[in-house]
Amino acid sequence: MAVLRKTAFSVACVAIFYQLWLREFLFDTLGVRRASESIESFPWKCRRLVDEKLEGCEDMWLDVDGRVLYAACSGSFSRGQWNPGQDLPPAVKCFQANECDRLSKYNVSGRRPGGSKLMSIMIDKPTANGFFEMHSIETKGYTGATGDLSLDLIGFDVDQSVPGELKFFLINHRPAVDAQKNFLDASTVGVNGTVEVFRYEKGSKQMSHLKTIAHPEVYSANNLALVDDGAFVLTNDHSGKVGFRKELDLLIGGGNVARCESNGECAPVTGSSLRFPNGLAVDKEGLVYVGMTAAPYVGVYRFTAENKLNQIDRIHVGMPVDNLSVDTNEEIWAVGITKMFDLIDSIGDPFNKGSPTTVFKIHKAPDGKYETMKVLEDREAKFVSSGTIAVFDAATEKLFVGGAATPFITVCESVKA
């Protein structure tokens, strides 16, 4: 009888564990057995913009008035080599052959020669080959980790409060160095993350460095969003720079959101149990939206009088979310991670392996409720692969999709029924 009771208790515990955590992790987060759709099921005509300058464009931002798409591009191969933010549980790393050797990369020598590039893409100036006029924006007055000009870009946001001028706030995953500017072992000390601020005159091919924000609370920065008067919020997607606890964050959470003031002082504004907080967006009401890459929802937050973030809602998406953007209609565009293991494979071998991508549009109804619509999915990765950011131009009804390790940017034009 005692054995029977123990067995029943064990079965009950397993059932509770499955219902409360394992089911969501397997089917919603990892995408096990998730059904997806072909891109032909959606009203878009898409094409790839394949150019080495447009490789690994994890984040993008549209200057609606200037008609320029800005993209932070780190290079597809290089992103797979220097990717200190991607620590995964050992069981997940090694789920597929050779993954243990290819993930959680701290290979400083694999960084893109010359560093990441901030690209200026003039979306109203098409060229004969189906591209757009574009150029990279070089830096002035900036010195990288080893004394060169290299940036290691991840996410960014833009202040456009001054006419004719933009101010870029760029997350920079620069490697740690010693006093002689020799590289330290990144697998031991982690990344030396900063936020670099540049002033840019529209149309120029150069941006001037204004300041570097380095703070202990900027330790695993993924993305940021401006809030007011030069202040911004940023996501730390992990619990720390390195260590075994960091490897468990995908399973049990550990990230947070921090707020940095214009004077460079930063402080956490959420708890430290967020499940891989990733993309950020702020709407005209000042609400902060946080995409979770280890949970199937977007968190909705409001600032309190003490400048802390209080979660007021969750937008259920049904799969992990990477970056977010807001269009001129105040619609939020979110990129979903359709199949986690396929994405991991693709980051390790971006030129030979694709990964399905899902794009959602989130609409806030007059009653304050959120409506989520799947607007694009590419099961076979024919045109869109391993996406991390989607930006919609409402004026032309074009959708631009980039990815952290994707070797191209995809542009999709709306097709009217």
Handedness of CA 110, 115, 118, 120 (dihedral sign): negative
Pairing of strands 231-236, 309-316: unpaired
Domains identified in the chain and CATH numbers: 31-414 (2.120.10.30)
- 78 pLDDT exceeds 60? yes
- What's the pLDDT score for residue 103? 45
- 21 pLDDT exceeds 90? no
* Higher pLDDT, residue 6 or 405: 405
The rounded distance, in Å, linking the Cα atoms of 17 and 11 is: 10
* Higher pLDDT, residue 416 or 118: 118
The rounded distance, in Å, linking the Cα atoms of 404 and 390 is: 12
- What's the pLDDT score for residue 3? 58
User: Which long-range contacts link 245-250 to residues 24+ away (Cβ below 8 Å)?
Assistant: 246/87, 246/220, 247/87, 247/88, 247/89, 247/90, 247/104, 248/89, 249/87, 249/275, 249/276, 249/294, 250/29, 250/88, 250/89, 250/92, 250/275, 250/276, 250/294
Nearest CA among 70, 33, 30, 32 for reference residue 54: 70
* Higher pLDDT, residue 370 or 109: 370
The rounded distance, in Å, linking the Cα atoms of 71 and 83 is: 18
Q: Which residues contact 26 (CB under 8 A, 6 or more apart)?
A: 32
Averaged pLDDT for residues 328-337 = 98
254: left (phi over 0), alpha (psi -120 to 50) or beta: left
Which tokens go with 231?
């202040």
Which tokens go with 391?
């930006």
- What's the pLDDT score for residue 243? 87
- 29 pLDDT exceeds 50? yes
Confidence of residue 90 (pLDDT cuts 50, 70, 90): low
Look at the block and give the residue holding tokens 């941006």. Answer: 207
DSSP letter string, 64-133: TTTTEEEEEE--HHHHHHB-TT----HHHHTSSTTHHHHSS-B-GGGSPTT--EEEEEEEEEE-TTS-EE
- What's the pLDDT score for residue 20? 58
Query: Which residues, listed in sequence order, are joined to residue 289 by a DSSP beta bridge?
Result: 281, 300
The answer to whether the CB of 384 falls within 8 A of the CB of 46 is yes
Confidence of residue 6 (pLDDT cuts 50, 70, 90): low
> In angstroms, what CA-CA distances link 214 with 55, 85, 211, 231?
27, 17, 10, 14
Confidence of residue 251 (pLDDT cuts 50, 70, 90): confident
- 91 pLDDT exceeds 70? no
The rounded distance, in Å, linking the Cα atoms of 9 and 131 is: 63
Averaged pLDDT for residues 56-63 = 98
The answer to whether the CB of 351 falls within 8 A of the CB of 80 is no
Query: Which residues, listed in sequence order, are joined to residue 193 by a DSSP beta bridge?
Result: 173
Q: Please state which of the ranges 7-11, 141-145, 259-263 shows the lowest mean pLDDT.
A: 7-11
pLDDT digits (tens, 9 = 90+) for 200-249: 999 999 999 999 999 999 999 999 999 988 899 999 999 999 988 888 88
- What's the pLDDT score for residue 97? 45
Helices (H), 280-357: 340-348
* Higher pLDDT, residue 8 or 404: 404
- What's the pLDDT score for residue 94? 52
Averaged pLDDT for residues 32-56 = 97
- What's the pLDDT score for residue 81? 87
Confidence of residue 348 (pLDDT cuts 50, 70, 90): confident
The answer to whether the CB of 337 falls within 8 A of the CB of 319 is yes
Percent of the chain with pLDDT over 90: 76
- What's the pLDDT score for residue 184? 92
Pairing of strands 132-140, 206-213: parallel
- 416 pLDDT exceeds 70? yes
- 24 pLDDT exceeds 80? yes
The rounded distance, in Å, linking the Cα atoms of 307 and 272 is: 16
pTM: 0.93
- What's the pLDDT score for residue 61? 99
Which among 174-178, 302-306, 346-350 has the top mean pLDDT? Answer: 302-306
Averaged pLDDT for residues 240-262 = 92
Averaged pLDDT for residues 245-256 = 90
